[in-house]
Amino acid sequence: MRNSSLAAGYLSLAPPLIGQNLANDFTGSKAVLPSKIADLVKAAFAEGDISPTLGMEQPGNYGKQYHRSFHDPCKVRIAAFQSGTEQVLIVSLDALAVYRPWVDEVKRTIQEKGGIAVEKILMTASHSHSSGPTAMVQPGQYEQSDAFIQELAYTHSSCADPAYLDQVKETTLATALRALENLQEARIGIGSGKEEKVAFNRRFLMKNGRTYTHPGQLNPDILQVAGPIDPEVGVIGSWDADGKCMGCLVNYACHTTTNPGGISANWVYYMEQTIRGAFGPDCVVVFLQGASGDITQVNNRNPSPNPSGEDWARLVGASVGAEVVKTMLHLSRSNRMRVDSKQLLLPLKRRMPTEGRVRESLQLVKQAPEQVGKTNWIFAKETLLLDSWGKQNPIHDVPLQVIQLGPAVLTANPAEFFCDLGLQIKAESPFPSTFPVTMANDCVGYVPSREAFGPQGGGYETRLTSYSNLEIDAGPKIVAASLALIRQLEPGAIPEAPKAPPFLGRPWDYGNVPPERGREL
């Protein structure tokens, strides 16, 4: 059963266009827009509390775990922009993931109440592993499966909470309407910094010729890291007419897995604290997760003990936040900026387990996890869930979206996207600033690079589960289709600082004197 609904305003990309030469298929599709001065830009920022209650499920695993304490609030963080008649709304949730049926419902509600078209709304999750139950098995997802599969899904798996999803929907709607109602003339600055000491690729080529994910700190069998990091800290800042900072968008690639203890926005909380320390408590920080599918805070080559969760969250968050502050303080700003957006649905096939693997998994799950090993049992359970769900849904329509803010473009996909795939988009984008946004508008699990499936590949991200199962070429196809969307937009001018006044003809009176030696006593 394929979800081909276009209710959210997506262009459907027909399967015949999908292939290795997808980028070439779109070469001529770039829209050539007339050169003109961009309209005055308006902006607004708002946030709302979406903290789960104690006892709710904590996502980020394939089994049940529950929140027992509270550390800091989880939020919905929203930025709205308008230039002329064009509007965009960027919604970031402190959540592990969001899924398209629910996302489309929220977008339609915002359109009905706020008047902004659904195709102009981007919804993304921060991927916080210390957030509320929005992710993994969705309500009613396995209602067409037999009773045994339903028990595996709803009793033994991490599940979204329908009541919590309703709570998040209502708070997101109210926060979005507040942002749309408060649009005001603004000056926008765009730039990037660099933070390369807190994020690390977690995949390593080992002496046995295969790639492991998190092989263990200082494992002597490590040969080399199997992928890059992306140290760029992308920043889009907004100031009102009085020069007060309204808020900022921050794009950085690192899993939010520091887990400081209890319900939390994860390291994003400390990033927010750091930025607000410089720009005030009203500055709304909208975090956009980068291409971090293989990037975490864990340094497997660290010769010192790794920090605790609390210290780790502070280290990552404050380090990224400090780079945001430095970048924003140097940004040139403009009150004119083009705003635009494009999106499409990219149909991709699922990878399915072999019949032998299904039979083996069925035998394993009929035994206790303690007998067969917890890890073996979990992934056997996931194999059976995928076998059931995948047969009913062999194609996944993957939503891709791009949003332009002048010389910057946000390029969004719903994957835990490998870092080198995000870097490919950046390298080939015609925009001066290109910020990949992942976990956006849906969730399709891990999308590794093609090399991860090669002879020296492997690792956690390539495992087949009900969460993560797109075809091997999903990564290159998403890269090509994303670039095709980007090329339909025309980059705007980079904001420039005002020119200094002309030299007045004489230097400063206090400083234009020869040295005065005085006299010695």
- pLDDT tens track for 444-480: 999 999 999 999 999 999 999 999 999 999 999 999 9
**Residue listed under structure tokens 């027909």:** 14
| Same domain as 131, residue 230 | no
Strand order in the sheet with 41-49: 121-125, 86-93, 75-83, 41-49, 184-185
Whole-angstrom Cα distance, residue 277 to residue 287? 17
What tokens does 494 get? Answer: 């980079």
Query: Which of 149, 183, 217 is the C-terminal boundary of a domain?
Result: 183
pLDDT at position 398: 98
Whether residue 308 sits in one domain with residue 196: yes
Alpha-carbon distances of 38 from 74, 80, 492, rounded to whole Å? 36, 17, 8
pLDDT of residue 38: 86
**Three-state secondary-structure class, residue 424:** helix
Is position 58 within any domain? yes
pLDDT at residue 343 greater than cutoff 80 = yes
Q: In this predicted model, what pLDDT tens digit does every residue of 231-275 receive, in sequence order? A: 999 999 999 999 999 999 999 999 999 999 999 999 999 999 999
Shared-domain flag, residues 80 and 218: no
Closest CA to 63 of 153, 167, 164: 153
Give yes or no for residue 123 having a pLDDT over 80. Answer: yes
pLDDT (0 to 100) of residue 9: 62
Co-location of 178 and 199 in the same domain: no
Examine the pLDDT at 71 and tell me if it is beyond 90. Answer: yes
Statement: residue 33 has pLDDT above 50 = no
Q: How many domains does the chain have?
A: 2
What is the Cα–Cα distance from 315 to 195, expressed in whole angstroms?
Answer: 12
State the residue range of the domain holding 255.
185-337
Residue 10 has a pLDDT of 67
Are 438 and 254 spatial neighbours (Cβ–Cβ below 8 Å)? Answer: no
pLDDT band at 24 (very low <50, low <70, confident <90, very high): very low
Determine the residue type at 418. Answer: F
For 96-113, what is each residue's pLDDT tens digit?
A: 999 999 999 999 999 999
The answer to whether position 244 is within a domain reads yes
Radius of gyration of the chain (CA): 24
pLDDT digits (tens, 9 = 90+) for 361-401: 999 999 999 999 999 999 999 999 999 999 999 999 999 99
Q: Is the pLDDT of residue 138 over 50?
A: yes
What is the reported pLDDT for 17?
A: 40
| Per-residue pLDDT at 11 | 64
Q: Are strands 184-185 and 395-405 parallel, antiparallel or unpaired?
A: unpaired
Residue 92 lies in a domain: yes
In the predicted structure, residue 2 carries a pLDDT above the cut 90: no
Confidence of residue 5 (pLDDT cuts 50, 70, 90): very low
Check whether 64 has a pLDDT greater than 90. yes
d(Cα 365, Cα 344) in Å, to the nearest integer? 39
Residue 340: is its pLDDT beyond 90?
Answer: yes
* pLDDT value for 290: 98
Cβ count within 10 A of residue 448: 29
Tell me: do 156 and 248 sit in the same domain. Answer: no
| Predicted confidence band of residue 15 (pLDDT cuts 50, 70, 90) | very low
Q: Mark whether 195 and 328 lie in a shared domain.
A: yes
Q: What share of the chain is helix, strand, coil (3-state, %, to 5)?
A: 30, 25, 45
Residue 27 confidence (pLDDT): 34
Spatial contact of 290 and 415, defined as CB atoms under 8 Å apart: no
Question: Is 398 contained in some domain?
Answer: no
Report the alpha-carbon angle 238-424-286, nearest 5.
25
pLDDT bin (cut points 50, 70, 90) of residue 3 is: very low
pLDDT class for 8, splitting at 50, 70, 90? low
Per the listing, tokens 């590949």 go with 457
pLDDT(19) > 80:
no
Percent of the chain at pLDDT > 90 equals 90
Statement to judge: residues 179 and 70 lie in one domain: yes
In a domain, 446, yes or no: no
Residues 167-195: what's their mean pLDDT? 98
Give 453's contacts (C-beta < 8 A, 6+ positions apart): 462, 472
**Residue after which a domain boundary falls, among 309, 337, 365:** 337
Is 494 a member of any domain? no
170 shares its domain with 190: no
> What's residue 426's pLDDT?
98
> Where a domain ends, among 154, 183, 212?
183
pLDDT in the model for residue 153: 98
One domain, residues 194 and 179: no
More confident: 22 or 236 = 236
Question: Which one-letter DSSP state was computed for residue 419?
Answer: H
Domain match, 290 and 228 both: yes
Q: Does 217 fall in a domain?
A: yes
Provide the mean pLDDT of the chain.
93
173 and 97, same domain (yes or no): yes
Residue 7's pLDDT band (boundaries 50, 70, 90)? very low
Residue 443 belongs to a domain:
no
More confident residue, 485 or 28: 485
Q: Which helix (H) or strand (E) segment is 189 a member of?
A: strand 187-194
Q: Are residues 174 and 242 in the same domain?
A: no
